[in-house]
Structures are given as structure tokens and as C-alpha cells.
Amino acid sequence: MPKILIVDDEKMIRNVVKEYAEFEGYETAEAENGMEAVEMCRKEDYDIIVMDIMMPRLDGYSAVKEIRKTKHTPVIMLSARGEEYDKLFGFEIGVDDYVVKPFSPKELLARIKAVLKRGSSPDDSVKMEKISFEGLEINVTGREVTIDGVPAQLTPKEYDLLFYLVKNKGIALSREKLLEEVWGYDFYGDDRTVDTHIKMLRSSLGEYRKFIVTLRGMGYKFDA
């Protein structure tokens, strides 16, 4: 479950956000000011930070600036109506969203969800539409794979696995790494599961199975 760091000097606000967030199943942590937030981020990774601007000790945007030196945690800024928006948005860091106080907790939660879903990858604009290797074509947006023009019936796992291999083409990937990245960190199962899926993927790819190379004692890689 995603972990949210809530930073606000008003205990009331923190409580409200916390309650709603936990009801949604998120884990929460709190900080009273920017300084505390920075320290907490040093020690731990959060999935998203909800940060007020006006705070004693260290204000919200200075805090974000500091945190962003080492991490790329998404941030949603809170600001009181009438506060200086110019300052906020002229700020060199890109925050992911902003919410004006007083806000509805439901709305804030919706935004948190939206930001989390969007994914916080440093550059998500790099999204190729189609990748092809000889007659093997992967349509990423349509989640479709064709072999010499004929649609291949890949199962979800096969597709995910292929996509991950291709995304990391030329790179040796251990079974552990594949399990972690394709299956998810919460998968507790047999290493050999990967083998089976590689087998099925190969059979789905027909002659283009040649791109999937076994690295004995290591794992697999996509080599084109």
C-alpha cells in the first residue's frame, strides 16, 4: 500500500487527511513542518507527499526543493486561498498538483490517487507507440503483439514479460529481478515460474523466439 507523508502545521488538517487516507487503505506519516518532512524523507521513501506551503521553521516549497535533491517523490501542494500563487507556481520545481484550502478531503484523495496512478517516473513522456524487431511488432498503446503482421494471442503475463524484456533489451535479467519487476515485489513463489512463462512466450513468438536468450546460471535477456 502506498505511503503518504502529510506535512502541515495544523494538527486538524493532518488528522482529516490521515483519516481519509487510511480509510482508503493508505499508510500515512505526519510531519509538522518542512524541516521535519525533509528529515523523514531522508530516512524513508514515501510514495507521495501532501505538503502545506505556509509552515514554521521551513516552508513547503523550500522543503520540496530540498527533498527533490535526492528523491523524485511526487508532491501535492496545499495552499490557503489568497496566498501568493505567483510565488508558488514560479517555483522551479514541478509539483504534481495543488489543492486550495479549504479543500474537500474526498477531492484531495482523488487527486492523490490520480497522481499515484500517473506514475512518478522522471520522464513519462517517453512512451513509444510501436517497437519492432524484424517481423515482431509490439504495439504498446494497444497492448498488441503481431508476428509477421498476424496478431499473436499473448496472455497478460506473456505480454508483461515480453514488454519488460524488450524495455531492457540487451540487459541480463535474473529470475529474481524479473519476478520483482513483472510479477511484483509481493510475489512469493517459485523461481521456476519464470521459466515456464519464458517457455510459453517463446512458443507464442514462433521464429522470433530467437530474441529471447538464456543466460545459464543467470537468467534471460532480450537480444535483437
Taking the least distance from each CB to a second copy, the nearer of 63 and 75 is: 75
> By C-beta, is 50 or 161 nearer to DNA?
161
Q: How far apart are CA 208 and CA 86, in angstroms?
A: 55
146: which DSSP letter?
E
Q: How far apart are alpha carbons 165 and 209 in whole angstroms? A: 12
Using CB under 7 A, which of the segments 11-19, 20-28, 59-67, 180-188 binds DNA? 180-188
Which of 119, 153, 170, 186 is the binder for DNA (CB under 7 A)? 153
Using the rule CB under 7 A, which residue among 3, 65, 68, 157 binds DNA?
157
Shortest Å distance, C-beta 42 to a second copy: 25
Report what 149 binds from a second copy, DNA, none; CB cut-off 5-8 Å by kind.
none
What is the three-class DSSP state of 184? coil
Nearest-approach distance from CB 160 to DNA, in angstroms: 7
What three-state secondary structure class fits 78?
Answer: strand
The one segment of 1-9, 18-26, 36-44, 196-204 that binds DNA by CB under 7 A: 196-204
In 3-state terms the chain splits into helix, strand, coil percentages (rounded to 5) of 40, 25, 35
Q: Phi and psi of 155, rounded to 5°?
A: -75, 165
Binding-site member from 28, 198, 208, 211 for DNA (CB under 7 A): 198
CB closer to DNA out of 121 and 155: 155
State which amino acid sits at residue 178.
L
For residue 95, the partner it binds in DNA, a second copy, none, with Cβ less than 5 to 8 A by kind, is: a second copy
Residue numbers at the binding site for a second copy (CB under 8 A): 12, 15-16, 18-20, 23, 85-86, 88-90, 92, 94-100, 102, 104-107, 110-111, 113-115, 117-118, 125, 139, 141-144, 155-157, 170-172, 176, 180, 185-186, 188, 215-218, 221, 223
Q: Within 10 Å of residue 78's Cβ, how many Cβ atoms? A: 25
87: Cα within 13 Å, side-chain hemisphere: 11
User: Any bridge partners for residue 219, and if so which?
Assistant: 174, 215
* Contact status, residue 165 vs residue 212, Cβ threshold 8 Å: yes
Closest CA to 49 of 91, 102, 2, 106: 2
Site residues (vs DNA, CB under 7 A): 153, 155-158, 183, 187-190, 192-193, 195-200, 202, 214-219
